[in-house]
Structure 1
Amino acid sequence: MYYLKKALWSEGAAKQSGGSGDPDSSGGEAAVGELVKSLKEQRVYREITLALRNGLRDSRAEFSFLRVRGLRSLLKFLRCVAESDSTIHLFSHSQSLPDLQVIPVLFQHSLRQADDDRVESLNHIFDVEPMNITTPCTDTEVALALRVLEGCCLLHRESTVFAHQHKAIQVLMNILSTRGVLEQGACLDALISIMLDSSANQMDFEACNGIEEVAELIRDKQVDENLRLKCGEFLLLLIGHVNGRERPPMAAIHEDVRQLLGEKSASLIWAASQFGSTLDPEQRLTALHIQARRVLESLDFY
């Protein structure tokens, strides 16, 4: 896997171009600087495409352990890409190429529906060519795929369009209602990422009665407490994002939450979502945890 390290020649070339104080050489230094910048960008883009091809190759494999390896590589790659605007831009450009698009691979393999595994006929028994067997998706594989989905949508807004084309909301709501705690937590984070500024995905969420599904989880005291807290964070982020909208989609979300969770909890969620924060990311995350805990406490006394 490639981690987009600086080329050894780039730093030396930059020092050489900046070492002269002669004004007459400024034009030459600028040309050298532009050449270094262009070469660096080409090198980084080659590493991005190579990393994507390697990760996607394993993510398409028939065996789950290989798909897990590919998904882990893609997740590490996305974390590296997120470190600078230039690499985010190059990654976004790569997603315009069908062979390098991550979202379709996720939904065709690790996030495929169980119905996709149905045997339509027994003709393969009599054929010369053997039938390809694909191993079932493990909990770890599904959770990793959801994390990769989340990263792609946060870094590349068009990925939410690709997700909609693969009926992402329906797939994720099925995961939320049928899988374990590990996948459910990752699913809530992925839902937020694919609904940000995506009216189509928000409408699908409404059509799937998404708020009711999340409210059912957060009300159930038999559900893992960490998952209930994650549901509280989900509602805070979702309402904070759609706050102030007077037209669909999700125009009636406040009323839905009030009916499902009660007046006290709904008021608390609404009030917490009103305040924009100037805190750094770590402090914002801590504040979100605290508010989710208060929502849970208000429900337990409701």
Structure 2
Amino acid sequence: MYLKKPLWSEGIIPKGSSGSEQEQPSTAVGDLVNSLTQQRVYREVTLALRSGLRDVRAEFSFLRVRGLRGLLKFLRSVAETDSTINLFSQTQSLPELQVVPVLFQHSLKDSGDEIVRNLDHIFGVEPLKITSPSTDSEVSLALRVLEGCCLLHPDSAVLAHQHKAIQVLMNILPTRGVIEQGACLDALISIMLDSSANQMDFEAFHGIEEVAELIRDKQVDENLRLKCGEFLLLLIGHVNGRDGPPLATVHEDIRRLLGEKSASLIWAASQFGSTLDPEQRLTALHIQARRVIESLDLY
């Protein structure tokens, strides 16, 4: 969704810019231009959502992948301005345009849901509807779209909770490949931000234990172990911002699972970067995660 300049704005000089009094539009004209522009952008936002969601609901994985790629590109474009973020948030109040439910009903659906329960289709006139299973690429893209939705629109985390997001993601984490596992960890952080319900589910499904098992295993891909380190740093530094429920025991859990020295390093390193710009914070996060891995490998 990269917008072209609307035709009706040609020759219009914004309020406050230089120019003769005759060149500057009246307040009424300026308001009309702004209104037309906002309506146009809203139409493009809804069109992009409808097009992407139509493909994500498809029976074939290659179509769903196409839809997910379109949605991911759309979300990246939305994130560029506050006005488009607000428009996207407005669309997510409309059930037919909500992204998160569609992700869990299709791309992130358990393949076990496709088991045929009876043979009625053999004796009836209605053909059996077959849906191709989600590929690794599809799952990875769906997790990235889920992450983007929750970061841009916090109420999407509520929708995710309604679809048992933590349970679904905790099933993905130990069973998929490295790329999907990394995307799963990022998605977990995004759906737990400011969401006590999802944090409680994470604790109930022993999420810390699953992540600790991956980061301790030296046979696991190094990039995934680093991603686990980053996850723990973000969990302590950003998600778990208080000592009360639902993650009241997270410090003790990490100490029990990873040892005193590694737990102390994670706690200290998680406090980094409050005065850094986003790029510097990302670099610092990566460096601190590597130190956590090194501390584990020494013992």
Interval containing the TM-score (normalised by the shorter chain) = over 0.9
Output aligned runs, 1:89-104, within 5 Å: 89-104=86-101
Whole-angstrom distance in 2 between the partners of 1:244 and 1:50: 38
Whole-angstrom distance in 1 between the partners of 2:170 and 2:241: 25
The residue aligned with 2:103 is 106
The residue aligned with 1:87 is 84
User: 1:139 and 1:125, CA in 2 relative to 1: closer, same or farther beyond 3 A?
Assistant: same
Output aligned runs, 1:41-120, within 5 Å: 41-120=38-117
Work out whether residues 264 and 298 of structure 1, in 8 Å CA contact, stay in contact via their aligned partners in 2: yes
2:12 alignment partner, SS class: helix
Amino acid at match of 2:171: N
Amino acid at match of 1:157: P
Whole-angstrom distance in 2 between the partners of 1:221 and 1:257: 18
Work out whether residues 215 and 261 of structure 1, in 8 Å CA contact, stay in contact via their aligned partners in 2: yes
The residue aligned with 2:130 is 133
User: 1:102 and 1:243, CA in 2 relative to 1: closer, same or farther beyond 3 A?
Assistant: closer
The residue aligned with 1:280 is 277
Work out whether residues 56 and 105 of structure 1, in 8 Å CA contact, stay in contact via their aligned partners in 2: yes
CA RMSD of aligned residues (A): 1.8
Whole-angstrom distance in 2 between the partners of 1:54 and 1:242: 33
What is the CA distance between 1:7 and its match in structure 2? 1.7
Amino acid at match of 1:68: V
Residue deviations 1:40-71 (CA, integer Å, cap 9, x gap): 00000000000000000000000000000000
Whole-angstrom distance in 2 between the partners of 1:16 and 1:168: 47
The residue aligned with 1:174 is 171
Amino acid at match of 2:236: I
* Residue 21 (structure 1) aligned with residue 20 (structure 2): yes
Work out whether residues 64 and 138 of structure 2, in 8 Å CA contact, stay in contact via their aligned partners in 1: yes
User: 1:128 and 1:32, CA in 2 relative to 1: closer, same or farther beyond 3 A?
Assistant: same
Work out whether residues 240 and 247 of structure 2, in 8 Å CA contact, stay in contact via their aligned partners in 1: no
What is the CA distance between 1:243 and its match in structure 2? 4.9
Residue deviations 1:82-117 (CA, integer Å, cap 9, x gap): 000000000000000011000010000000012211
Whole-angstrom distance in 2 between the partners of 1:276 and 1:253: 21
Whole-angstrom distance in 1 between the partners of 2:270 and 2:132: 43
Q: Percent identity?
A: 78
Whole-angstrom distance in 1 between the partners of 2:226 and 2:17: 53
User: Which of 249, 253, 256 does residue 252 from structure 1 map onto?
Assistant: 249
Work out whether residues 18 and 29 of structure 1, in 8 Å CA contact, stay in contact via their aligned partners in 2: no
What is the CA distance between 1:241 and its match in structure 2? 1.5
Work out whether residues 193 and 239 of structure 2, in 8 Å CA contact, stay in contact via their aligned partners in 1: no
Structure 1: tracts of 5 or more residues without a match: none
Work out whether residues 273 and 284 of structure 2, in 8 Å CA contact, stay in contact via their aligned partners in 1: no
Whole-angstrom distance in 1 between the partners of 2:76 and 2:273: 26
Whole-angstrom distance in 1 between the partners of 2:65 and 2:240: 37
Whole-angstrom distance in 2 between the partners of 1:177 and 1:243: 23
User: 1:243 and 1:166, CA in 2 relative to 1: closer, same or farther beyond 3 A?
Assistant: closer
Whole-angstrom distance in 1 between the partners of 2:14 and 2:251: 58
User: 1:163 and 1:267, CA in 2 relative to 1: closer, same or farther beyond 3 A?
Assistant: same
* Residue 237 (structure 1) aligned with residue 226 (structure 2): no
Provide the aligned length of Structure 1 versus Structure 2: 299
What is the CA distance between 1:20 and its match in structure 2? 5.4
TM-score, length of structure 1 as denominator length: 0.95
Amino acid at match of 1:160: A
The residue aligned with 1:122 is 119
The residue aligned with 1:212 is 209
What is the CA distance between 1:173 and its match in structure 2? 0.3
Amino acid at match of 2:8: W
The residue aligned with 1:6 is 5
1:13 alignment partner, SS class: coil
Structure 2: tracts of 5 or more residues without a match: none
What is the CA distance between 1:29 and its match in structure 2? 1.8
The residue aligned with 1:223 is 220
Whole-angstrom distance in 2 between the partners of 1:219 and 1:6: 53
User: Which of 149, 152, 169 does residue 149 from structure 2 map onto?
Assistant: 152
